[in-house]
């Protein structure tokens, strides 16, 4: 990939910012390059300079989203004192997305999974796999430090946590009611904390 000057790099980031917001609100199949170009005040041809096709744009979005989410997980690992506090902070990541009237990008893409380009499908699975790995390690640490309780394999419980949070976001969305998400998250936490 050629090195671009600062202005070009800034445009590429603005494209990603707008596309991320649109994707988290509408989904991948319900926004177009024309939507982004109109909002930025540039031509569709300019968008193709930065991202030759929508599949490349989508893959860049998921890569960036996953990187940012991984950085948030690293911050949680660094800052939270124990496994329970880490799990609470993890749940708050999802609540924060809803507070901004958006959906988890990979959650919304999972609903569109069969229609996504192959590279995007792999990126979505990678996001979920990384989250499940992190949660399984968190559960093991919580079992060891006595702040979390659960039955079954940590990997299975991790999948349940991720599924509950993603599902709670989906159910809360049509109601526009963060309290619905908070109730589901509260039940999840109550079942896992000592």
| Confidence bin at 4 (pLDDT 50/70/90) | very low
Q: Which fold has domain 6-192?
A: Tetracycline Repressor; domain 2 (1.10.357)
pTM > 0.85: yes
Summarize the confidence of residues 27-49 as an average pLDDT.
Answer: 93
Stronger pLDDT, 1 or 77, i.e. the higher one? 77
Inter-residue contact 148 to 88 (CB < 8 Å): no
Here the tokens at position 180 are 């619905």
d(CA 131, CA 56): 23
Number of other CB atoms surrounding residue 98 within 10 Å: 20
Task: Provide the mean pLDDT of the chain.
Answer: 93
Is the pLDDT at 6 greater than 70? The verdict is no
Inter-residue contact 120 to 58 (CB < 8 Å): yes
Domain assignments of the chain as residue spans, ordered by start: 6-192
d(CA 172, CA 129): 24
Stronger pLDDT, 12 or 2, i.e. the higher one? 12
């Amino acid at each position: 990939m050629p090195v671009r000057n600062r202005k070009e790099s800034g445009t590429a980031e603005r494209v990603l910012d707008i596309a991320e917001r649109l994707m988290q609100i509408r989904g991948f199949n319900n926004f177009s390059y024309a939507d982004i170009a109109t909002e930025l005040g540039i031509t569709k041809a300019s968008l193709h300079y930065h991202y030759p096709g929508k599949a490349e744009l989508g893959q860049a979005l998921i890569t960036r989203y996953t990187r940012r989410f991984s950085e948030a997980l690293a911050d949680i690992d660094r800052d939270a004192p124990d496994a329970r506090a880490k799990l609470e902070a993890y749940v708050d990541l999802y609540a924060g997305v809803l507070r901004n009237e958006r959906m988890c990008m990979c959650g919304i893409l999972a609903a569109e999974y069969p229609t996504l380009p192959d590279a995007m499908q792999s990126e979505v699975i990678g996001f979920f796999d990384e989250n499940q790995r992190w949660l399984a390690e968190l559960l093991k640490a919580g079992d060891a430090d006595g702040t979390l309780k659960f039955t079954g394999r940590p990997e299975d419980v991790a999948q349940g946590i991720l599924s509950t949070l993603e599902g709670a976001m989906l159910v809360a969305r049509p109601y526009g009611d963060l309290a619905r998400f908070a109730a589901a998250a509260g039940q999840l936490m109550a079942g896992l904390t000592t």
